[in-house]
Structure 1
């Protein structure tokens, strides 16, 4: 069992991390800490195997807190600030997750943290109870989606429209960035502004892909992707 602690001043961050951990076997949340001082007090009396650590917190910053620990456990930094990555690796953190991060990237961080441990079973996409879920943010709300439910995604400027079997969601994230979070073997880009879920393709006719009641255009430079699908 991997006993973990979440240290972050944002309640939403706690919900996302715990949601991802709940999808994996052998993960036990010991405490939610909303500042470093609360975590410091807890660790004086208790032990954990892993800390999810935010950097930008009130009173005591994440790395300042980490330096106070004599024998720190495994640490995965979760932050929106990429510029502190070098300092983090100098402190021997296991991984550095930039917010927002998807489940697949989160899973890699867990495996990286414990890939040399003999005391913990490494989790993988194959043995996790549910491996294909992702959180997206829309209208100040974080929504968890089943990746398999995604029919297609569409670029709309600096936004991405996500069409699922149940709903349509627009998120403030560039198309290329969001596409990069999706499993490559399950999604294929067919146009500069469209990517589709392979399993949902009903038919391909000329320069159109038919998915449910939608018609998705095929761009000229992406026809090779379609040819590979038809092999």
Structure 2
């Protein structure tokens, strides 16, 4: 379960974020805070896994609030001011959502926050949030097990996700989708293909064999394969 906190001085922002979170499984709102001082006091005695943080708030600004936290949870910035994005690189921020943002962009932020390498994952039952991501296909939001992915294939501005039991087509470039996947578990083998390393059955010449599928190895990506074979 991902326990989250909203810090924003605008009630409508609270409604939008909570509405989006209600559509995502395993997310629980812990508290709504309308200023950073209220949040600071709450976090002194309570723990959360994720903060949605506005920047332009009265009394204590968002980045100033972050400076007060010794061990901050994951943070997703939600703001109407794009000029603060560069400053955000100085802080442990998972993503930066520019208002107004839609549900698809919101899902990307959640996926990014809980799929980054070398970061804590939130366990619930027998899985972790980092083992699942949401993808949008034909106006549906599908929860996808990363372990089920065999390989992905670019087709223009779309990407086909081939799993052990289905093929899902999403309107996303392959480079953008790869950013959501664990870096050490997937390798790009061609400008149009990337494979799940543990799904590889064999490699012969310029071809990778996964189940009944043959995936090409591009010239400039051979180094990636050589690194696997070391």
2:29 paired residue number: 29
Distance 1:175 1:167 in 2: 18
| Deviation, structure 1 residue 212 | 1.9
Identify unmatched segments of 5+ residues in structure 2. Answer: 7-13, 97-104
Specify the SS of the correspondent of 2:114: helix
1:67 paired residue number: 58
User: Alignment RMSD, CA only?
Assistant: 4.1
1:80-159, aligned counterparts within 5 Å? 83-86=82-85, 89=88, 95=93, 97-98=95-96, 99=105, 100-101=108-109, 103-106=111-114, 124-125=120-121, 129-130=127-128, 131-159=130-158
Identify unmatched segments of 5+ residues in structure 1. Answer: 23-27, 34-38, 55-61, 112-122
Specify the SS of the correspondent of 2:208: strand
Aligned residues: 195
Specify the SS of the correspondent of 2:16: coil
Q: Is the 8 A contact 1:3 1:48 kept in 2?
A: no
1:217 paired residue number: 216
* Structure 2 CA distance for partners of 1:16 and 1:217, relative to 1, 3 Å: farther
* Structure 2 CA distance for partners of 1:77 and 1:223, relative to 1, 3 Å: closer
1:13 paired residue number: 20
| Deviation, structure 1 residue 192 | 0.7
Q: Is the 8 A contact 1:16 1:135 kept in 2?
A: no
Distance 1:173 1:81 in 2: 24
| Deviation, structure 1 residue 145 | 1.3
Tell me whether 98-107 or 147-156 shows the greater mean CA deviation. 98-107
Distance 2:194 2:222 in 1: 13
2:101 paired residue number: none
